[in-house]
């Protein structure tokens, strides 16, 4: 019965992580709308601080019991989040969105090896193969031109490395730390750091239009508050490698939503990419 219960929890965790991928896929569109009248670092600071505050209000009784261990872990994860999001945002200025989507997906390959180094748990052959297949599939989806490594690409690869570490550290901490408490400290830390950076490096905000407000609200409520909370809870019941595979599907859902909502063209190459990605997800759940 215990094994059956764990299998059910693992299945629920997988479904929850797929929901995170769907939400983050929609986040590409929301961020694009929001950035029409707000600078990147201010957007990130609003997103993280408002989400952290929202979780504090909803889970007040739980948050007031936060201990030193949780604060320490949350600050570490928050620093990873801040550094990663900053690298991604700056990197996007110097590369194409399609190339960045492909390069970011490289964390699916990095996670098994980082997890191996930090937790001493050797990755399975199928998890490594699934990671590489995911990378290839997203390459079919994203790459539209000659592949070369430029300044923006280098920053994006650094983001992928930071995000891979973030996933592994979350997997380590949520085993004996409350995920909601961890998420709160994570978001507040990242929010304060991005706000400080915005005050130093970006101009003051003049006016935010109504469309941008809608985009910001989506990012705060769904992309951050709900998605990060779900991810941190779900990682209690599944592996770091499988988590990275599932949430990297955000690229697929982002593409599909762009086709449906923004009228982008769905090509044969993209269909091949989706098929390869689907196979990689199935492979990540098979014990070889």
Q: Which helix (H) or strand (E) holds 113?
A: helix 107-119
- pLDDT the model gives residue 127: 77
- Rounded to whole angstroms, how far apart are CA atoms 243 and 110? 12
Residue 232: partners with Cβ closer than 8 Å, 6 or more residues away = 170, 174, 179, 180, 182, 183, 186
The model's pTM: 0.81
- pLDDT the model gives residue 135: 77
Q: Would you place residue 102 in the very low, low, confident or very high pLDDT band (cuts 50, 70, 90)?
A: low
Which range has the worst mean pLDDT, 44-48, 98-102, 119-123, 198-202?
A: 98-102
Two structure tokens written together for 269: 């190459």
Q: Would you place residue 111 in the very low, low, confident or very high pLDDT band (cuts 50, 70, 90)?
A: confident
- Rounded to whole angstroms, how far apart are CA atoms 281 and 162? 22
Question: Are 14 and 246 a contacting pair, CB within 8 Å?
Answer: yes
- Rounded to whole angstroms, how far apart are CA atoms 172 and 115? 9
- Rounded to whole angstroms, how far apart are CA atoms 68 and 59? 18
- Rounded to whole angstroms, how far apart are CA atoms 169 and 231? 13
Q: Report angle CA 114, 125, 119 to the nearest 5 degrees.
A: 30
Two structure tokens written together for 87: 């690298």
Q: Which helix (H) or strand (E) holds 14?
A: helix 2-34
- Rounded to whole angstroms, how far apart are CA atoms 181 and 22? 24
């Amino acid at each position: 019965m215990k094994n059956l219960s764990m299998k059910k929890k693992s299945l629920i965790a997988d479904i929850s992580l797929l929901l995170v991928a769907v939400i983050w896929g929609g986040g590409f569109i929301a961020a694009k709308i929001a950035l029409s009248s707000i600078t990147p670092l201010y957007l990130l600071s609003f997103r993280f601080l408002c989400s952290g505050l929202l979780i504090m209000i909803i889970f007040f009784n739980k948050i007031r019991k936060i201990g030193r261990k949780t604060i320490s872990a949350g600050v570490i994860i928050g620093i990873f989040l801040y550094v990663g999001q900053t690298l991604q945002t700056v990197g996007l200025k110097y590369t194409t969105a399609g190339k960045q989507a492909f390069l970011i997906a490289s964390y699916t390959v990095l996670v098994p090896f980082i997890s191996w180094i930090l937790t001493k748990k050797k990755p399975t052959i199928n998890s490594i193969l699934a990671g590489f297949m995911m990378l290839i599939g997203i390459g079919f989806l994203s790459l539209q031109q000659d592949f070369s490594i430029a300044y923006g690409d280098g920053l994006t690869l650094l983001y992928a490395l930071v995000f891979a570490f973030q996933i592994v550290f979350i997997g380590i901490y949520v085993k004996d730390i409350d995920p909601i408490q961890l998420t709160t400290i994570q978001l507040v830390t990242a929010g304060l750091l991005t706000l400080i950076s915005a005050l130093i490096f970006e101009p003051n905000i003049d006016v935010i239009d109504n469309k941008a407000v809608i985009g910001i609200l989506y990012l705060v409520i769904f992309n951050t508050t709900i998605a990060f909370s779900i991810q941190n809870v779900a990682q209690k019941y599944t592996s770091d490698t499988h988590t990275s595979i599932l949430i990297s599907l955000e690229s697929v859902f982002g593409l599909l939503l762009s086709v449906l909502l923004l009228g982008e063209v769905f090509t044969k190459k993209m269909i091949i990419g989706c098929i390869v990605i689907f196979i990689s997800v199935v492979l990540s759940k098979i014990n070889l």
